[in-house]
């Protein structure tokens, strides 16, 4: 129940925000919202000792059991890491936003979106059912779209939100197809049950396609190459959003998916090369492009892409352990996964602090452009301290937590070269080389953050505000994060035992010994090893390249702007819009006659064509009931009215004749003993007739337009074809005996649903979803009418007051 409560609380709080906002307008809304993540973090933290002892908490709530879709919450070591990040960093971000965002902003919208995102992310990491996970997955895309576009008056914000949603939702749809393939292969949507039946799943022809599709979803969400292009544009969001979504939570969703599905796909060659290869490429490309940025936030965006690639590559390297099964050799390679989990936490701490630092600079100085910054160290000493600690940790320097996980990253890339599987004996050397080169660029952009912002000469004439230190409240959150940066370096094995070790058990459930997969973390091993030499090399080469940056920066101009991934994306989107616009304009010409022609031609082609192909047209008049004289009279009345409409010259005549048709149908319902349908038909016909008469009163008189003979012939042909199709389908249905009539199923309505009235049972039970959606539509329409009435009343009141 605790896990389900953790998921639902943010949604409930989001629903209450409008009431709280209206009631307490003089208090910053963030103080109320802050209670939610703080309470959840405190609650989840109480489960850390039990999770560390190997306990797992599972609870199932039935949703659609017929299709195997139930809400099963699952709290284990892996979901614990992510839930603590979501709620812990979420608490600090909300505290930071209280001082960052002005009360003049639309705070009720901002915090509503933020809570929706928090609840969706918790739903992702706590869901055992793939379909439920997918629902929450797409909800993170929707809520992040709203957060990125929060400043919707800015064109760049709207464009960034659209790009993020387009790419992540497209990947999500691919992931859904992968989930469905896993269901076909395993017969279940439960991740635990799929892992328990690996032999069946891995022998399926759907195994590799499902793997590739799931990876598409993970790569798009976690901004892996070449899908990373949405993340820099998403930086148009407010800084609290960037610090939360793009450093600690949303971009980690793809990482979580890879970690959670590693027991299913890990050990396969395609998985190994896809995850580790794409991760390393993303690591290099992100760090390489971060150096060229002049906007601090854009620089951090590319650094985030790079760090996500590092984590992704480590999960790929660690998956090689599953190729061997449990053995002493395989346990060695699980340390790459341990390093991935370790760096996952470290990245959230130093990157969250750096985003907040950049937000402070932008808030207090008025710009993020490093060409206009400099000399802020003496004017903003606390912000400078945050920048130094966060940047040094990201660069992998001691005494900060990033140094420990970066050294473990080097270790993993060196050890993987010793394997003789997956062709690693020949090309495995690329892993440590690419890792080292990317680390050099990482060191360079970390130096740029500190040196170009806080050292050098101040340029007051190029700043929008007089520079000064941020208020104390805005410094609390980043200082807490940098305190973790240092604290984790001092006590890393506490984190390893209580947090990382249980997560390893979740990723390698088939390995019996968790202690063997939990290495002792140390900053100094008593000797100078290869990893430390690589770190020294990073510092030396990094300093040299930074000092000579102006000389080699033109290398970025070698790639023409028209060949960049962003340019290709824009061309594809613009071309698609242009083509779709031309195609749409060809048939959407504003003429209702053409629209009906399209509809009817499609109707006849599809239905009549299928009926002919399936040879289901049959009519046996001997089985029909006797036609009474009064029924013939009603039929001829309807035929006469329909024909008369064609030759009518006045709209009033058309409306009345149409009413004759409608009321005749109501009389047929009476004859066939369906009073409820007759009443509905009479009410609808009366209302529509009255509305037609009111509307047509204000329309101009009908004009006789010239219509060519060929067009008249086409209309007559289509009309006859539609009428014949409907008639023949009706006759065929009456004599269709290839399947057992469904009416026999509904005859047992009392036994199946407890209702004696078949009609009521069908409406309330058998088609409950349809009825529910109809009620929702009516409810939405009612809200719309109510809102219009209230708006009109307020406008009238304002006019009265102005007078």
DSSP collapsed to 3 states, 543-607: HHHHHCHHHHHHHHHHCCHHHCHHHHHHHHHHHHHHHHHHHHHHHCCCCHHHHHHHHHHHHHHHH
Q: How far apart are CA 13 and CA 37, in angstroms?
A: 11
Q: Are 490 and 40 in contact (CB under 8 A)?
A: no
Q: Which residues of 183-197 are buried (b: 16+ CB within 10 A; e: fewer)?
A: bebbebbbbbbbbee
Please report, for residues 41, 85, 133, 730, the alpha-carbon distance to residue 141 in angstroms, rounded to integers and kept in the order given: 23, 18, 13, 45
Looking at the domain assignment, is residue 774 inside a domain?
A: yes
**pLDDT (0 to 100) of residue 796:** 46
Average of per-residue pLDDT values in the chain? 89
* Domain finish residue from 547, 568, 583: 547
* Domain finish residue from 547, 572, 603: 547
Q: Which of 606-620, 639-653, 658-672 has the highest mean pLDDT?
A: 658-672
Regarding whether 542 and 596 lie in a shared domain, the answer is no
Q: Are 364 and 457 in contact (CB under 8 A)?
A: no
The domain in which residue 713 lies consists of: 592-739
Q: Are 143 and 116 in contact (CB under 8 A)?
A: yes
Query: Kind and range of the H or E element at 731?
Result: helix 709-734
Regarding whether 794 and 652 lie in a shared domain, the answer is no
Pairing assessment for the beta strands 69-75 and 57-64 based on DSSP bridges: antiparallel
Work out the pLDDT band at 802, boundaries 50, 70, 90: very low
Regarding whether 234 and 274 lie in a shared domain, the answer is no
Flag whether pLDDT at 795 surpasses 60: no
Kindly report, residue by residue over 479-520, the tens digit of the pLDDT.
999 999 999 999 999 999 999 999 999 999 888 777 788 888
Q: What are phi and psi of 69, to 5 degrees?
A: -110, 100
Regarding whether 615 and 734 lie in a shared domain, the answer is yes
The SS3 of residue 422 is coil
Work out the pLDDT band at 427, boundaries 50, 70, 90: confident
Regarding whether 685 and 618 lie in a shared domain, the answer is yes
Looking at the domain assignment, is residue 585 inside a domain?
A: no
Q: Are 445 and 303 in contact (CB under 8 A)?
A: yes
Number of domains in the chain: 4
Work out the pLDDT band at 548, boundaries 50, 70, 90: very high
Flag whether pLDDT at 451 surpasses 60: yes
**pLDDT (0 to 100) of residue 799:** 46
**pLDDT (0 to 100) of residue 537:** 96
Flag whether pLDDT at 423 surpasses 90: no
Regarding whether 603 and 508 lie in a shared domain, the answer is no
Regarding whether 370 and 292 lie in a shared domain, the answer is yes
Kindly report, residue by residue over 583-631, the tens digit of the pLDDT.
888 888 888 888 888 999 999 999 888 888 877 777 777 766 777 888 8
Kindly report, residue by residue over 85-142, the tens digit of the pLDDT.
999 999 999 999 999 998 888 899 999 999 999 999 999 999 999 999 999 999 999 9
Regarding whether 669 and 531 lie in a shared domain, the answer is no
Query: Kind and range of the H or E element at 57?
Result: strand 57-64
Mean pLDDT value across residues 297-314: 95
> Does residue 590 or residue 784 have the better pLDDT?
784
**pLDDT (0 to 100) of residue 734:** 74
* Domain finish residue from 513, 530, 547: 547
Mean pLDDT value across residues 654-664: 88
Looking at the domain assignment, is residue 423 inside a domain?
A: yes
**pLDDT (0 to 100) of residue 401:** 94
Work out the pLDDT band at 798, boundaries 50, 70, 90: very low
Looking at the domain assignment, is residue 261 inside a domain?
A: no
Mean pLDDT value across residues 282-311: 95
Kindly report, residue by residue over 360-415, the tens digit of the pLDDT.
999 999 899 999 999 999 899 999 999 999 999 999 999 999 999 999 999 999 99
Q: What are phi and psi of 317, to 5 degrees?
A: -65, -40
Kindly report, residue by residue over 690-714, the tens digit of the pLDDT.
888 888 777 777 666 677 888 888 8
CATH number at residue 697: 1.20.120
Q: What are phi and psi of 220, to 5 degrees?
A: -65, -40
Structure tokens at 29: 């809304």
Regarding whether 311 and 163 lie in a shared domain, the answer is no
Looking at the domain assignment, is residue 748 inside a domain?
A: no
**pLDDT (0 to 100) of residue 62:** 87
Looking at the domain assignment, is residue 571 inside a domain?
A: no
Angle 602-606-611 (CA atoms, 0-180°, nearest 5)? 145
Q: Are 503 and 341 in contact (CB under 8 A)?
A: yes
Q: Are 387 and 351 in contact (CB under 8 A)?
A: no
Q: How far apart are CA 241 and CA 235, in angstroms?
A: 9
Regarding whether 201 and 280 lie in a shared domain, the answer is no
Regarding whether 185 and 67 lie in a shared domain, the answer is yes
Kindly report, residue by residue over 35-88, the tens digit of the pLDDT.
999 999 999 999 999 999 989 999 988 888 878 888 999 999 999 999 999 999
Looking at the domain assignment, is residue 249 inside a domain?
A: no
Other C-beta atoms lying within 10 Å of the C-beta of residue 204: 15
Regarding whether 373 and 279 lie in a shared domain, the answer is yes
Structure tokens at 411: 């270790």
Looking at the domain assignment, is residue 220 inside a domain?
A: no
Q: Which residues of 54-65 are buried (b: 16+ CB within 10 A; e: fewer)?
A: eebbeeeeeeee
Structure tokens at 717: 């042909």
Gyration radius of the chain over CA positions: 33
């Amino acid at each position: 129940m605790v896990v389900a409560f953790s998921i639902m609380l943010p949604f409930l709080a989001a629903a209450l925000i409008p009431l709280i906002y209206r009631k307490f307008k003089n208090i910053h809304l963030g103080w109320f919202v802050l209670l939610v993540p703080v309470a959840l973090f405190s609650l989840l933290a109480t489960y850390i000792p039990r999770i560390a002892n190997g306990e797992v908490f599972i609870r199932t709530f039935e949703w659609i059991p017929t299709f195997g879709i139930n809400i099963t919450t699952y709290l284990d070591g892996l979901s614990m890491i992510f839930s603590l990040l979501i709620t812990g960093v979420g608490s600090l971000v909300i505290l930071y936003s209280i001082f960052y965002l002005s009360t003049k902003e639309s705070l009720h919208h901002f915090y509503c979106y933020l809570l929706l995102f928090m609840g969706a992310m918790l739903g992702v990491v706590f869901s055992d059912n793939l379909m439920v996970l997918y629902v929450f997955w797409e909800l993170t895309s929707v809520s992040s779209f709203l957060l990125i576009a929060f400043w919707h008056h800015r064109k760049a914000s709207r464009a960034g939100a659209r790009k993020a949603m387009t790419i992540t939702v497209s990947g999500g749809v691919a992931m859904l197809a992968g989930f469905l393939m896993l269901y076909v292969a395993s017969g279940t949507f439960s991740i635990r049950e799929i892992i328990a039946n690996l032999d069946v799943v891995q022998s399926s022809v759907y195994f590799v396609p499902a793997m590739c599709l799931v990876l598409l979803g993970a790569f798009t969400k976690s901004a892996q190459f070449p899908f990373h292009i949405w993340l820099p544009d998403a930086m148009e969001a407010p800084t609290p959003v960037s610090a939360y979504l793009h450093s600690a939570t949303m971009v980690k969703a793809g990482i979580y998916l890879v970690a959670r599905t590693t027991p299913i796909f890990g050990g396969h060659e395609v998985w190994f090369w896809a995850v580790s290869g794409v991760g390393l490429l993303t690591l290099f490309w992100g760090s390489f492009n971060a150096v060229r940025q002049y906007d601090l936030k854009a620089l951090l965006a590319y650094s985030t892409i790079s760090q996500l690639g590092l984590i992704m590559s480590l999960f790929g390297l660690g998956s090689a352990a599953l190729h061997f099964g449990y053995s002493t050799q395989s346990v060695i390679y699980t340390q790459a996964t341990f390093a991935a989990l370790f760096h996952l936490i470290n990245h959230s701490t130093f990157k969250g602090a750096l985003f907040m630092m950049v937000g402070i600079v932008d808030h207090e100085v008025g710009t993020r452009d490093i060409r206009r910054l400099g000399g802020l160290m003496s004017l903003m000493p606390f912000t400078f301290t945050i920048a130094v600690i966060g940047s040094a940790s990201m660069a992998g320097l001691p005494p900060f937590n990033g140094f420990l996980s970066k050294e473990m990253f080097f270790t993993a890339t060196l050890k993987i070269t010793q394997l003789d599987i997956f062709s690693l004996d020949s090309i495995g050397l690329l892993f440590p080389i690419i890792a080292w080169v990317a680390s050099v660029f990482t060191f360079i952009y970390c130096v740029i953050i500190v040196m170009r912002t806080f050292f050098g000469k101040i340029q007051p004439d190029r700043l929008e505000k007089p520079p000064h230190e941020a208020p104390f409240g805005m410094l609390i959150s980043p200082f807490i994060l940098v305190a973790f940066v240092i604290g984790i370096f001092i006590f890393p094995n506490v984190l390893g035992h209580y947090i990382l070790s249980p997560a390893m058990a979740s990723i390698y459930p088939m390995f019996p010994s968790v202690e063997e997969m939990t290495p002792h973390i140390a900053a100094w091993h008593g000797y100078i090893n290869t990893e430390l030499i690589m770190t020294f090399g990073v510092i030396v080469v990094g300093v040299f390249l930074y000092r000579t940056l102006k000389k080699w920066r033109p290398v970025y101009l070698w790639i023409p702007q028209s060949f960049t991934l962003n340019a290709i994306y824009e061309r594809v989107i613009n071309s698609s819009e242009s083509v779709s616009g031309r195609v749409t304009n060809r048939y959407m010409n504003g003429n209702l006659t053409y629209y009906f022609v399209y509809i009817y031609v499609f109707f006849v082609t599809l239905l009549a064509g299928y009926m002919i192909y399936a040879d289901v047209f049959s009519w046996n008049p001997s089985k029909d009931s006797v036609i009474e004289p009064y029924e013939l009279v009603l039929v001829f009345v309807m035929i006469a009215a329909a024909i008369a409409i064609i030759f009518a010259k006045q709209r009033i005549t058309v409306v009345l004749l149409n009413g004759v048709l409608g009321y005749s149908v109501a009389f047929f319902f009476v004859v066939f003993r369906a009073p409820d349908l007759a009443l509905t038909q009479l009410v609808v016909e009366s209302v529509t007739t009255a509305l037609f008469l009111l509307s047509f009163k204000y329309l101009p008189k009908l004009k006789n337009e010239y219509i060519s003979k060929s067009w008249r012939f086409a209309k007559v042909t289509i009309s006859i074809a539609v009428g014949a199709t409907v008639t023949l389908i009706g006759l065929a249905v009456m004599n269709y005996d290839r399947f057992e009539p469904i009416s026999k199923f509904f005859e047992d309505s009392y036994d199946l649903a407890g209702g004696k009235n078949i009609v009521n049972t069908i409406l309330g039970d058998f088609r409950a979803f349809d009825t529910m959606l109809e009620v929702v539509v009516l409810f939405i329409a009612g809200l719309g009418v109510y809102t219009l009435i209230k708006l009109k009343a307020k406008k009238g009141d304002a006019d009265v007051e102005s007078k």
